Amino acid sequence: MKRKVMQSVLVLILINLVVVLPVSAAEPVVNEELFKEIEANLMCTDGCGMYLQACDNATAQQMRQEIREKLAEGMTPEQIYAYMINIYGEEVMAAPPPSVPFNISAWVTPFLAILGGGLMIYLALDKWVFNNETSESQIEVDDVDLAEYEDIIDEEIKRYY
């Protein structure tokens, strides 16, 4: 009797190993659209400077695996971003998080500086070069000064003509 019980227990264990274990060891199903969205918002952190979805090195593969694991655990995208920032730092994000004003100013300030510098150069050129054209017709002469010279001009004309 004990032998039959022992055999049935062994059979159940073998069935468990053959049927149940491979099914549970299969990779969990992950929402691919959500995975692609998260992957598009992250940067590879090995120094290549590429977006995670475009990079194909070992670091990028490891990061993709971490994202898949966290999605399989049921984490939201915000939780995954927080997890990645906690591990790799804020440079893992492809764009600055809008909740931190300093990050946005760090991204916007260089562009504003370039625009401001270009405007200053344009205004300087406009003042020094473009509007510096003066002709004799633009010079204003007082009527009093003309009266003094008209007499001299009349005498010169009479002398030669």
- Contact between 59 and 45 under an 8 Å Cβ cutoff? The reply is yes
Give residue 13's pLDDT band: very low, low, confident or very high (50, 70, 90).
Answer: confident
Note the pLDDT tens digit of each residue in 77-128.
999 999 999 998 888 888 866 666 777 787 889 999 999 999 999 998 888 8
Task: Name the nearest CA neighbour of 30 among 77, 59, 62, 70.
Answer: 70
Residue 74 tokens, joined: 């049921």
Least-confidence region, from 63-67, 71-75, 90-94, 118-122: 90-94
pLDDT value, residue 83:
93
The angle subtended at Cα 64 by Cα 71 and Cα 101, nearest 5°, is: 80
What are the domain boundaries of the chain? 29-95, 101-128
pLDDT at 156 over 80: yes
pLDDT value of residue 121: 93
CB 91 within 8 A of CB 46: no
Structure token digits, residue 62 = 């490891």
At 14, the amino acid letter reads L
Give the class (CATH, top level) of 29-95: mainly alpha
Q: pLDDT tens across 17-46, in order? A: 666 555 544 556 778 889 999 999 999 988
The stretches of 21-76 forming alpha helices (DSSP H) are: 21-25, 32-40, 58-72
Chain segment 131-150, per-residue pLDDT in tens = 765 555 555 655 556 777 88
d(CA 43, CA 55) in angstroms, rounded, equals 9
pTM flag (> 0.75): no
Q: Is 128 left (phi over 0), alpha (psi -120 to 50) or beta?
A: alpha
pLDDT of residue 129: 79
87 CA to centre of own chain: 20
